[in-house]
Structure 1
Amino acid sequence: MTSSLRRVFLASLLRRRLATALSLLAIALGVALGLAVQLIHGAALDEFGRGVRLLSGEADLQVVGPREGFDEGIYPLLARRAEVAEASPVLEIEARLPGRDDSLRILGVDLFRLMRVQPALMPLADREAAGEVGGNEGGDEARGAREAEPSRTGGDGRLAALQPHNLFLSADARAVLTQPYRSASGESQPPAISDGYLLAQSGLRSLRLRIAGQLPGASGSIGVMDIAGAQQHFERVGTLSRIDLKLAEGVELGTARLALETLLPPGVSLRVPEAAASEVGTLSRAYRVNLTMLAAIALLTGGFLVFSTQLLSVARRRREFALLRALGLERRELMRGLLAEGALVGVVGGALGVALGYALAGGAFRFVGGDLGAGFFRGLSPTLAFDPALSLAYLFLGVGAGVAGTWIPAREAARVPPARALRAGEGERAGLPQAHARGRIAALLLALAGLACLLPPLSGIPVGGYAAVALILAAAVLALPALARAVLPLLAHGRSALWRLAHARLSATPAQAVVAGAGVIASVALAVSMAIMVSSFRVSVDDWLEQVLPADLYLRASSSSASGYLDPEALAAIAAVDGVATVDTTRLANLRLSDAEPLFSVLARPAQGNWGLPLVAGSMSVPEDAALPPIWVSEAAADRHRLAPGSHFELPLGGRLQRFIVVGIWRDYARQYGAALVERGDYVALTGDTRVNDAALRVAPGVDPAAVAEALRQRFGAEHITIALPGEIRALSLQIFDRTFLITYLMEAVAVLIGLFGIATTFAALATTRQGEFGMLRHLGLTRAEIGRLIAFEGALTAGLGVLAGTLAGGAIAWVLIEVINRQSFHWSMDLAVPWLVLGVFAFSLVALAALVARLAGRHAMQRSAVLAVKADW
């Protein structure tokens, strides 16, 4: 293509400044949202992986088990093996900080093994701690006297890390814990470190751990102490969380795994250190993929906008193209020129989108964090880095959207004979897609969508569900002309001449509805489907919370993985509080069923009692002839392990595989990768674990639950326990739910905005091509204001058709989201709840906005002189 021709096509883009700018913005928004999701997730995973590599050091393999730990008797067996050069035991504690909402990750380590396997975690003692050789068992006065004295030993601190009460903090941890903390409720809490000591919680008592030094080579918020001290203080004697293994020289990784795996009890796995990062990536994958698909739909909507603007541009320039063809321009050159226009729009829009994506990711890191709104990476502080490959990939997506949106208009323009295109008046309607019946193609696409819904997930990703969404959108766009012919006759009755003119215009050119409505369909379908899905999910979660929270009060020492817990003595003290009628307890343990999947949750509590169990299959009654202990599994566990009532299921409890019979399946929105409920008596008999995480209390009739709560706080200390009413837990849970879907709402708004861009560009272009028509109407007596109302009516009718088609498509997509994508991604079922009022207000508002946008877009065409407007027809 010559430089002169390139200038011709470039000049066309510059003449259509508004349409070009809106197309650029639409592509930029789609690219930015998708890129930002990938950048946030990638940076968070990199940060998590960096932390894993730091903690594993030079280890080749790691022995890992349940979150609560495993028997340390495995350690000497592995350490003596010829395949193992060094073995470093680690006890990981999530130490609850009394009076605060946060916790500190403390690693109990063997100092001498640490130097050989994880040298980056070696502690450096402060000067004061370097001279201390005493223990922590004396009183506060003696301890204070020792601290006030100068170091007498002149020690270099090598023994400080062996003292059971000494704790060493990373710089990040020290910075966080020495600052006042603002809780989730907005209350300011005092620093966790005071007078050189950290206050931590074990059970329902407080520990004072001395800050004895720092961790120069560590990053992230962690602490390190002697493993014996950690086991003693946090009552985890005889327990390890993992063992880091450094293999002997010349030993192959695969050979070592085969030899060592036979030594491990059930529930304990041998894996490479990088598997921890992969596990977290698996946990967040479904949520990330869903957000990426939402961004892809926004980009698809931008592609529709490019299509509509390019199609109308081609229609307006048909005589120009015909003249160029008559002067010798070949078909393929014309098509290449038009595709170059789309590619240029895609390149510029993609480049803007890449820049905006990095800005969005940076803003998310600064104000929200790197957890994608769902808590997968809470506590991490990722660093945004430029990713050339990812940026280039999303830039190409933008180019692809621009080229794809231009392909059909370019092909149609190249096919038109020059003699036909040169006829007067040909440019107004020519080039628009003809409203032939495409019902068969739309029906075929819907049938294919139904078949796609039957496909199983691919590596946990519902590829068939996403394909069904794309097919439904395509079917809705293709069915729009048929829908226009079916609906428009029903709207023909009206007394207003302007209404009848607008109706007649749209009935005569239903292809106009396709051009303007394509982007509206995609955006409305996205908004409607997500509104139905989120409403159904929220209503189902609310109903689920009501079923699982039937008690009057709920008491917790800490989260399931943290160091607070309730022992039998504490439970007896709770039951003795005046006003407490019954106490039901729950112990939450996290097991490792295999090294290839995330942790599996086991809830040990009475099946009957104050805790509800929302069954979807089976029953709460145990068969009288059952030879095995009963178990109730969640929907996720049933899907992932192919379980049904009557199935047998094995769990690694107490160092052995224990067999259960599945009695029922229940709905659980808290644990994505499966959970099971075991009778507390069976759990204690199998494991000997009598600890409890949560207690559900029923108060006596006529007793105020708030008074009982206050008595419990006085008994155990308000800083050691968390007490909440069911309504408070429900409100907090729904608040977290809404915050999780905040980015989803943002993407919906972007898609709707892009759809309105499509209305604006379409009617701006159509108004320009119809200047002669408007001039004739002016000669017949219509004023500029009346022509403006005419365009507004046309915009409302066009948007109404798009909203109707988008709503129907959105309902179908919502079903796919609920029954296919959500079920295959998260293994959750939900009840359908359509927000009719919200959808009605949304549809009415969008039609009204479309009318306003069309009116504003046609303002330029209405301002032209009526005489000049019809001059071409003289």
Structure 2
Amino acid sequence: MTSLWRHLTWPAWRDQPGRVTLAIVAVMLGVALAYGVHLLNGAALTEFARAARGINGQPDLVLHGSAGPLTDADLAELLNRTEVVAANPVIDAQVLWPAQPGAAARGTYLRLIGLDPFALLAAANAGKPLAPELTPQIDGDASHLPKAGTVHLNAAARAGLPPGATTLRLRVQRPGHAAPDDIDLTVGGRVTAGSGPLGVLDIADAQALLGRVGTLDRIDVQLAPGTDAAAWIKTLPPRWRAAPPADDGERLSAMTRAYRVNLGLLALMALFTGAFLVYAVLSLATAQRLPQWALVGVLGVSARMRWRLILTEGLAIGAAGTLLGLALGLGLAAGALKLMGSDLGLHGASGASTDLLLNQPLLVPTLVYAALGLAAALAAAAAPALTVRRIAPALVLKGLGLPTGRALPAWVGCGLLGLGAALAALPPVLADTPVGAYLAMLSLLAGGLALVPALVRALTALLGRLPGRWRHSALAMLARERSRDQATEAQRSLAGVLVALALAVAMTVMIGSFRDSLERWLDHALPADLYLRSALRGSDGQPAPLPPALIERLPRLPGIARAAPQRTARLRLTAGTDAVALTARELDHDTLPVMARWTGAVDAQATAVWVNEAARDRDGLQPGRVLTAHLVDRERPVTLQVMGILRDYSRQATALWMALPDYRRISGDTTTTELALWLAPGAAIDPAREAVRAAAGTDIEIAAAGELRALSLQIFDRSFAITVWLQAVALAVGLFGVVAGQSAQALARRREFGLLRHLGLSRRDLMRLLLLEASLTGGAGALAGLALGLGLSLVLVYVVNPQSFHWSMELSLPVARLGALLALAFAAAVGASLLAGRRALGADAVRAVREDA
């Protein structure tokens, strides 16, 4: 076998290095994109989990209040329990870090963690730290623990300090205070955790700073060795709820799973289309070496050995492409981390940490993507290998060419399309992962590929209906017979571009539909001209209430027509669960982005609320449902009735809306956290903004609706930028595939062209014949790609996005872009065929006939 490889394969590779290189590059790009995306996702999750562990310490359990914050009395009661070895009370809040005087920026937010130094010392002596890692480390004495009036900062926070600064000024809004207060703290040691700006200080300072003396956010608990945590939790009073510490890495993984799965599958599509390019290259090599394969067959080389040699070629291409792809994928991921930082751009202060790529599990993913690369190359080599195995060597030596391909019956393709439609109707599994939808897309692609021969024959039949002399011309007859007999070969040569075109059409329609739906939603979500909120944060981390005097003064400013207050709050759907977002504002039922509305009986005792799709899908809040919920920091329950589903592209988590008067009635809270302002007719927005800023002061955030709209669309475009890039790579690989496939077919037909030349057809006639044939096959591929792409887009728009992200949208067809994609695919198919035919119609085509003599 080694000798045969040296005499048959190596000369072909040496004489045609470009095609072999193209096949290797196809595998390399597919593996690199898929592997790089996986490494990048893993690095982000690793960094987040590492930062979270550094901030939160390593408690056995985390204790929260069921209906509100914990108190110092809860801590004392907890410490009296014999099973508790150590308990660390924690205050966790956000405060405003004002910009330096004269700076253009408005400042930033600093996360503050308040800790008890003595609890930290006790936990450290017990061998299980319950605090962020400090430098110098806690080593059994209190010399480096948080001290009164001192804040320890991490690297992101220190990056914002002026050179040589020893104090840090923070601005907070204490409960019950009309104006914010500025607090100066001494800068202490370093915190070696957290990717965003973080400060650690004594819990007494934190309580005083935030106006929360006597209250706690949580208590990190360390139990005595041998204590059963689950059994101990059952002994707690109802006002407490305890659970193992949340794995923030797992939580982020769950939140981003849908995006990462979609991105990973799209990256794998480049490998999928690359496999078709490898197939086209090996088919071309097979066509060029068909006489040699026939000759060695006559000389005694078995069909099985010929089959193994072609598979070995595919394996060699796959091995080279896979190795290069793994290296390139690592480089791409490292470059992305270097460019965006270890948190992938979430915080500007984080540095690049390419070591994160090596700190995640690598062996299994590397082996998986290596196996995928090799499997794609072997699958691509299977068809040419079977072709060489099936040839009759004596007939091939007489110039009868390749055997006719076998096409699947049309009913198989129709059955696969029907199976795809059935799979798309399956519910999601594995935490919002639409496995059925992905299988449906694969089934639709397979069904479309199976129907290509039937489509080619259908288009060929149209040639028989051409008017006048064209119907009975020799070229039309040859084109009809050739297209009818070689429909299966057209399927193989167009497979790569068909898959790539279908995916490009599907992603183009999905992204266009999503963007158009987002623009329409923004029109509903941003009806006012200006939006205002406090830059300060309350004790719960939510925007601090605006001063009542400011709310009364702003509508009287020149250029302001009216103002609409809004209150952002939190709600627990059931006691002891995590809080969800609640927005109380004006509800104009004529302009709300309503998806479903309750038309049945209304509960007179319930308060009307509207929910988003995530609340409907995850929490079962269907229209008409009546439930009892709990406002955060309010002891009494409230009865709510779901009046409808609103479209909400601002979040993937559960959210509710209610009318502001209803909220104030059931809560007794009359504060306002945001304000929407409408300008008077003819008023300019910039002067009005400056007037609002002058009246409100510096501790506000103000933005125009146009700015918020532009920012939202910019975030959308940035989120899908990598998707568009991956789509372009897959399409380019598919176009290369059709070029190589058409070249293979043209070279295999050299003797046919020579015979037609001897029979009297001119070179120009043969080029017209090729143009006619290429138009048929290219048209079939473009139409099939368009139809498949539209079918896949329906799955993406109506199944994948609602199941993965809980975002529904209307289908929108970007006709101009779809036309450009179709024209590109058709031109590639026709142009490749004409270029390959021009080469095959040279003098070699005439001499090829003499080889039969």
Specify if TM > 0.5.
yes
Find the counterpart in structure 2 of residue 169 from structure 1.
153
Find the counterpart in structure 1 of residue 29 from structure 2.
29
Find the counterpart in structure 1 of residue 217 from structure 2.
241
Find the counterpart in structure 1 of residue 511 from structure 2.
534
Residue deviations 1:184-215 (CA, integer Å, cap 9, x gap): xxxxxxxxx96743454548746343342122
Find the counterpart in structure 1 of residue 704 from structure 2.
725
State the AA in 1 paired with 2:226: G
1:810 to 789, 801, 804: 789
The answer as to whether partners of 2:625 and 2:641 remain within 8 angstroms in 1 is yes
Find the counterpart in structure 2 of residue 846 from structure 1.
825
State the AA in 1 paired with 2:744: A
Structure 1: runs of 5+ lacking an equivalent: 126-155, 180-192
| 786 and 522 in structure 1: CA distance in 2 versus 1, 3 angstrom threshold | same
Residue deviations 1:606-635 (CA, integer Å, cap 9, x gap): 4349x963111116x996642122221111
The answer as to whether partners of 2:494 and 2:741 remain within 8 angstroms in 1 is no
Question: Which whole-Å CA distance do the structure 2 matches of 1:67 and 1:710 have between them?
Answer: 42
Find the counterpart in structure 2 of residue 425 from structure 1.
399
Question: Which whole-Å CA distance do the structure 1 matches of 2:335 and 2:720 have between them?
Answer: 17
Find the counterpart in structure 1 of residue 250 from structure 2.
278
Find the counterpart in structure 1 of residue 357 from structure 2.
385
Find the counterpart in structure 2 of residue 230 from structure 1.
206
Q: Matches of residues 685-700 of structure 1 in structure 2 within 5 Å?
A: 692-700=672-680
1:113 to 104, 114, 119: 119
Find the counterpart in structure 2 of residue 800 from structure 1.
779
State the AA in 2 paired with 1:114: L
Q: Matches of residues 510-525 of structure 1 in structure 2 within 5 Å?
A: 510-525=487-502
Question: Which whole-Å CA distance do the structure 1 matches of 2:310 and 2:67 have between them?
Answer: 60
State the AA in 2 paired with 1:38: H
1:820 and 2:799 correspond: yes
Report how far residue 347 of structure 1 moved.
Answer: 1.6
The answer as to whether partners of 2:410 and 2:450 remain within 8 angstroms in 1 is yes
State the AA in 2 paired with 1:167: V
497-506 or 227-236, larger mean C-alpha shift: 497-506
Question: Which whole-Å CA distance do the structure 2 matches of 1:645 and 1:565 have between them?
Answer: 32
Secondary structure in 2 matching 1:385: helix
Report how far residue 231 of structure 1 moved.
Answer: 3.3
1:455 and 2:392 correspond: no
Residue deviations 1:291-322 (CA, integer Å, cap 9, x gap): 11111222211222223333454455455444
State the AA in 1 paired with 2:148: Q
Aligned-pair identity in percent equals: 37
Secondary structure in 1 matching 2:235: helix
Residue deviations 1:628-671 (CA, integer Å, cap 9, x gap): 22221111211112232211234342256544211111111111
Residue deviations 1:375-422 (CA, integer Å, cap 9, x gap): 699968553424232122101100111112222333343344545x54
Question: Which whole-Å CA distance do the structure 2 matches of 1:291 and 1:401 have between them?
Answer: 19
Report how far residue 837 of structure 1 moved.
Answer: 1.5
Question: Which whole-Å CA distance do the structure 2 matches of 1:96 and 1:855 have between them?
Answer: 67
2:168 to 179, 186, 197: 197
Find the counterpart in structure 2 of residue 396 from structure 1.
371
2:616 to 638, 650, 659: 638
| 582 and 512 in structure 1: CA distance in 2 versus 1, 3 angstrom threshold | same
Residue deviations 1:461-506 (CA, integer Å, cap 9, x gap): 1000000000000011110011111123436749999985767644
| 865 and 70 in structure 1: CA distance in 2 versus 1, 3 angstrom threshold | same
The answer as to whether partners of 2:500 and 2:730 remain within 8 angstroms in 1 is yes
Residue deviations 1:695-735 (CA, integer Å, cap 9, x gap): 11234455444333211111222x42222222221121111
Question: Which whole-Å CA distance do the structure 2 matches of 1:70 and 1:380 have between them?
Answer: 36
| 683 and 120 in structure 1: CA distance in 2 versus 1, 3 angstrom threshold | same
| 864 and 712 in structure 1: CA distance in 2 versus 1, 3 angstrom threshold | same
2:721 to 742, 746, 749: 742
Report how far residue 539 of structure 1 moved.
Answer: 0.8
Find the counterpart in structure 2 of residue 355 from structure 1.
327
Question: Which whole-Å CA distance do the structure 2 matches of 1:381 and 1:684 have between them?
Answer: 47
Secondary structure in 1 matching 2:91: strand
1:628 to 573, 596, 606: 606
The answer as to whether partners of 1:284 and 1:376 remain within 8 angstroms in 2 is no
1:551 and 2:528 correspond: yes
2:410 to 439, 442, 460: 439
The answer as to whether partners of 1:37 and 1:372 remain within 8 angstroms in 2 is no
State the AA in 2 paired with 1:523: A
Secondary structure in 2 matching 1:479: helix
The answer as to whether partners of 1:585 and 1:692 remain within 8 angstroms in 2 is yes
Find the counterpart in structure 2 of residue 135 from structure 1.
none
State the AA in 2 paired with 1:310: L
| 783 and 695 in structure 1: CA distance in 2 versus 1, 3 angstrom threshold | farther
Question: Which whole-Å CA distance do the structure 2 matches of 1:823 and 1:862 have between them?
Answer: 54
TM superposition score normalised by structure 1: 0.84
Find the counterpart in structure 2 of residue 482 from structure 1.
454
The answer as to whether partners of 1:6 and 1:337 remain within 8 angstroms in 2 is no
The answer as to whether partners of 2:159 and 2:349 remain within 8 angstroms in 1 is no
Secondary structure in 1 matching 2:405: coil
Question: Which whole-Å CA distance do the structure 2 matches of 1:596 and 1:411 have between them?
Answer: 64
398-407 or 843-852, larger mean C-alpha shift: 843-852
State the AA in 1 paired with 2:737: G
Question: Which whole-Å CA distance do the structure 2 matches of 1:824 and 1:563 have between them?
Answer: 29
The answer as to whether partners of 1:526 and 1:810 remain within 8 angstroms in 2 is yes
| 625 and 763 in structure 1: CA distance in 2 versus 1, 3 angstrom threshold | closer
1:79 and 2:79 correspond: yes
Find the counterpart in structure 1 of residue 90 from structure 2.
90
1:308 and 2:280 correspond: yes
Question: Which whole-Å CA distance do the structure 2 matches of 1:326 and 1:596 have between them?
Answer: 80
Report how far residue 175 of structure 1 moved.
Answer: 2.3
Question: Which whole-Å CA distance do the structure 2 matches of 1:122 and 1:328 have between them?
Answer: 73
The answer as to whether partners of 1:577 and 1:712 remain within 8 angstroms in 2 is yes
Residue deviations 1:815-870 (CA, integer Å, cap 9, x gap): 11111111111111111111112111221133224444444555654555565344
| 96 and 639 in structure 1: CA distance in 2 versus 1, 3 angstrom threshold | same
Question: Which whole-Å CA distance do the structure 1 matches of 2:81 and 2:266 have between them?
Answer: 52
Report how far residue 443 of structure 1 moved.
Answer: 0.9
1:672 and 2:652 correspond: yes
Find the counterpart in structure 1 of residue 187 from structure 2.
212
Secondary structure in 1 matching 2:50: helix
| 615 and 119 in structure 1: CA distance in 2 versus 1, 3 angstrom threshold | closer
State the AA in 1 paired with 2:43: A
Report how far residue 339 of structure 1 moved.
Answer: 2.2
1:715 and 2:695 correspond: yes
| 796 and 690 in structure 1: CA distance in 2 versus 1, 3 angstrom threshold | farther
The answer as to whether partners of 1:28 and 1:352 remain within 8 angstroms in 2 is yes
State the AA in 2 paired with 1:439: A
1:835 to 800, 811, 814: 814
Question: Which whole-Å CA distance do the structure 2 matches of 1:119 and 1:672 have between them?
Answer: 31
1:256 and 2:225 correspond: no
Question: Which whole-Å CA distance do the structure 1 matches of 2:576 and 2:830 have between them?
Answer: 55
The answer as to whether partners of 1:589 and 1:603 remain within 8 angstroms in 2 is yes
